[in-house]
Amino acid sequence: MKSGTQLLLIHLLILAVATAVAGARAGFASRGLSDAEAGYIRHRQLLYYRDEFGDRGEKVDVDPSLFFPNSHLRNAYIALQAWKQAIISDPLNLTGTWVGSNVCKYKGVFCAPLPSNHSLIVVASIDLNHADIAGYLPEELGLLTDLAVFHINSNRFCGTIPHRFDRLRLLFELDLSNNRFAGKFPDVVLRLPSLKYLDLRFNEFEGTVPSELFDKDLDAIFINSNRFRFDIPNNIGNSPVSVIVLANNRFGGCLPASIGNMSKTLNEIILMNNGLRSCFPKEIGLLKKLTVLDVSFNQLIGPLPNEIGGMRSLEQLDVAHNLLSGQIPASICNLPQNACAMLCVRASSRPLQFVQLCTVCSIPSPATASIPAATFTDRLTTTFAARLTATYSSIIASNTCSFSTFSC
């Protein structure tokens, strides 16, 4: 098992090159899509399915004179040519290089030896981040069965996620963030056995999130800033994630006590602006490894539990803009000295206050306060902290609380 993991990590090293390419394009600003343009692209995807051209590439003519070193690269050629046909706009002309049989030379496409057979070169990674491409994802992408990394964040892709993605048995990272994908939660991600990193944030997905998501062996879940509506299920405590961001949806319901079961792995959890309605579960104190907890802009009621002082690794705590009441527990002074807490409580002995836990935080004012992303290390891929930056932007646009210092 250990050697298999090492092979998979080698398979993922190609992402270092992909990250450099993405960084070179980071400054490009998308003009966005109008609703009419997004509707047109989705309609094209639907028409494509009605044509009954599944995932076999019937719409792709393969020149018999083309040479492919192996069948895997031939399938990759079919998949990428089908995708090229599904692209409506490519202002950087990135797919203009997608010509000929040498798919490993295509921009945004990266090859590596197959983990189970080092003599076999396959398409291991696709990184089209910040390419400003408009289009949809065809079913033929399911032919990329050796893919470990699929990153297309910050584009203008629309429509739904292909069902044939379930053939991507080696897919380790899936980043579809900051596009115009719509429809229900893409259940196909639940059928990806190697998936560890899932990023669906800043899209137009809606409806419920299947509880099975929290039973998967994932390391990171980002589904914030969509249109999901559901109650956080009790089995969230089964999730082995280190980072989970569910912010800016409409979950409602309670913050389950089972969250305490995530103590072995959880480092960051961000649930702000979700309409949560419950008391603060005392089990929160079991999260000894937690560094960031943000449940701001909800409707949590009652006091902060005394057990909150048990989070000995906590660096950022934000419970502002809730309906909390009562005294601030003395145990909060057990938090690390470098911890920064933003509290908005209705204390029994004083009016509504915005409280800064430690002056070392040096937050200038409630109106301009923000939370810096925590630092992650030992990642082969782009750090999760960088991906959290957008989540934290403009956390506190306004604050009606007065400002004072709580001395420990």
Query: 249 and 270 in contact (C-beta within 8 Å)?
Result: no
Q: Are 136 and 45 in contact (CB under 8 A)?
A: yes
Tokens 């750090």 locate to: 383
> What residue spans define the domains of the chain?
2-314
- Identify which has the larger pLDDT, 132 or 389: 132
Q: For residues 22 and 24, what is the distance between their CA atoms, to the nearest angstrom?
A: 5
Contacts (Cβ under 8 Å, ≥6 apart) of 326: 302, 303, 304, 345, 346, 347, 348
DSSP class of residue 71 equals H
| pLDDT (mean) for 92-101 | 96
Grouping H, G, I as helix, E, B as strand and the rest as coil, residue 390 is: helix
**pTM for the full model?**
0.77
pLDDT value, residue 97: 97
- Average pLDDT over every residue of 30-53: 56
Nearest CA-CA partner of 129 in 222, 19, 229: 19
- Report pLDDT digits (tens) over 169-221: 999 999 999 999 999 999 999 999 999 999 999 999 999 999 999 999 999 99
Average pLDDT over residues 220-242: 96
Average pLDDT, the chain: 79
Please calculate the CA angle 321-348-397 and round it to the nearest 5 degrees.
15
Give me the count of residues in the chain: 408
Consecutive H or E run containing 302:
strand 301-302
Question: What is the DSSP track for 202-240?
Answer: SSEEEE---GGGGGS--SEEE--SSEEB-PPPGGGGG--
DSSP for residue 350 = S
The pLDDT tens digits of the residues spanning 372-381 come to 333 222 233 3
Checking if the pLDDT of 159 tops 60, the result is yes
Q: Which of 308, 313, 310 lies closest to 295 in space, CA to CA?
A: 308
| pLDDT exceeds 50 at position 32 | yes
pLDDT band at 340 (very low <50, low <70, confident <90, very high): confident
pLDDT band, residue 37 (cuts 50/70/90): low
CATH H-level superfamily of 2-314: Ribonuclease Inhibitor (3.80.10.10)
Residue 155 to residue 128: CA distance in whole angstroms: 8
